[in-house]
Amino acid sequence: MSAPHETRILQRDEHRISRQAMDSDALKVMYRLHRNGFKAYLVGGGVRDLLLGRQPKDYDIGTDATPEQVLDLFRNSRVIGRRFPIVHVLFGNGLVVEVSTFRAADDEGEVINIPSDQDSLEERALLQAEADTIIDDDDANGEAPAKIAVAPEQPVTRPELEPPRPTNKQRRRYDRGRHILEFTDPRQYGPPNEDARRRDLTINGLFYDIDNFSVLDYVGGLEDLENGVIRTIGPPDLRFKSDPVRMIRAIRHSGRTGFTIEPDTWNAILENRGRLTECSKARVLEEFYRDLRGGAAFATLRILRESGVLGVFLPELLDYLPDWSEDEEIPIAWRRLQALDRHIAIGESFPPAFLLSLLIAFPMLEYIEEEARKIHPVKLDIGRVAYHFLKPLTSRLGVARRDTERLFLISISQRRLSQCRKGHQVPNFFVNKPYFDDALKLFLFDCEAMNEEPPELKFSNRRQKKRRPRRRKRSRPRE
């Protein structure tokens, strides 16, 4: 058991956090909780980013209000997570503010049987897929649903003629997830200092109090933030064994901030990296997507490769993302990741299929070319060859079928777009495909990584000739 740190408090004039840098909707949530007599702390990465002078990507709020009380305060909210309920407050601009009740530590003060500082991503994805979108304010006000219309009373002789009961989906539409709270144990709620010790990294265990605008540090995060150190809260070996996904998070935060992973945490990553195979594919894939779209994909994947974590859940990328020394030129595969970071820095966003195609498309094309040399190109079934290449990768990661199909189409399209370098035209039917924009964007990324000007796209205006249907020859009747 690790010794608790002495609580450190930064008053308003001792830190750089300003409410002007926060989202107005996140401030609304905190102020409404505070006005109703509850504590309202901005927690997690939002405080870390504000102290570093960066704009937070998301807003997590900790409070002593129970999920039922939060639902009563916000009609535009719903509950997710059966293990530990979390309330999502949704706004029209797409912002989702996550409100969670402070959690208590166990008797020994350590975290056990809790997979992460957030609920299981696999469970969360399942619940979000089942839940309906937030409905009108009248229904979201917690009022009872309209009664089901029943025909006038008639003699009922069989049980199948009874009025239909509302389904679970109809109940969920009105209770906004309140049915999940039936299984909640109130003993898991606790004070803020115990909640801070349940988080993954010290730099993510900082709280900002909207009451007096102070920063609260129960885990030594301010010192690590000043020294540029990534450190787990508690023994790293125990933390990574309880939830191996924390290793990916520690590496991602090191890549984003440029901080150094302290030796004990780094050695624990090297010893426990093989445990990632025991985690849910959905959680590992979601963390990998966050690595790519976080704005520091180049630095993060380099640390993932150096630590051997990348070779655990996607070993095929080790050959595609080769290592190099500082005096050598950066390989083109890494330069594509640098291009991705530049575009994300200016506010662009990319779907999952595009992020995967940035890593997998060009190795797949090389594999197709190798197969084409073995047999005659005319006899080559490109779709079958590409399927044999993609299937092991997407199955190991647990990629959704729709993303796998779009990944295939974006990757195959690079063969056609590469002909534009030779002055060939792009047919109109290809431009109208729904995946053309992503395919073109990937082609431009490749040109940017190769430090060459993208060729001018020429579109063919000629229409395809309609083939006359072949008339079937009639067989002569036998004489």
Give CATH 3.30.460.10 domain extents, the chain. Answer: 8-144+165-225
Helix (H) or strand (E) holding 86: strand 86-90
Span 228-312 CATH architecture: Orthogonal Bundle (1.10)
* Tokens matching residue 122: 């696999």
d(CA 26, CA 42): 9
Say what the pLDDT of residue 454 is.
Answer: 82
pTM of the predicted structure, to 2 decimals: 0.79
- Cβ atoms of 100 and 86 within 8 Å: the answer is yes
- Exposed, middle or buried by CB within 10 Å (0-12, 13-18, 19+), for 244? buried
Q: Is 290 exposed, middle or buried (0-12, 13-18, 19+ CB in 10 A)?
A: middle
Buried b (16+ CB within 10 A) or exposed e, 403-433: bbebbbbbbbbbeebeebeeeeebeeebeee
At 289 the pLDDT is 95
Please tell me the predicted confidence (pLDDT) of residue 1: 46
The residue-averaged pLDDT of 371-378 equals: 75
Reading the block at residue 52, the tokens are 């570093």
CATH class of the domain defined by 8-144+165-225: alpha beta
Q: Which two three-digit tokens encode residue 460? A: 């063919």
Find where tokens 């966003």 sit.
Answer: 349
Q: Where in the chain is the domain with CATH 1.10.110.30?
A: 228-312
What are the phi and psi torsion angles at 268 (to 5°)? -65, -35
Distance CA 237, CA 120 (A): 20
pLDDT digits (tens, 9 = 90+) for 169-193: 555 445 777 777 776 777 788 899 9
Q: What is the mean pLDDT of the chain?
A: 82
Measured distance CA(423)–CA(412) in Å, rounded: 19
For residue 153, the model assigns a pLDDT of 45
d(CA 327, CA 337): 19
244-302 per-position pLDDT tens digit: 999 999 999 999 999 999 999 999 999 999 999 999 999 999 999 999 998 999 999 99
pLDDT score recorded for residue 155:
45
pLDDT higher than threshold 70 for residue 350:
yes
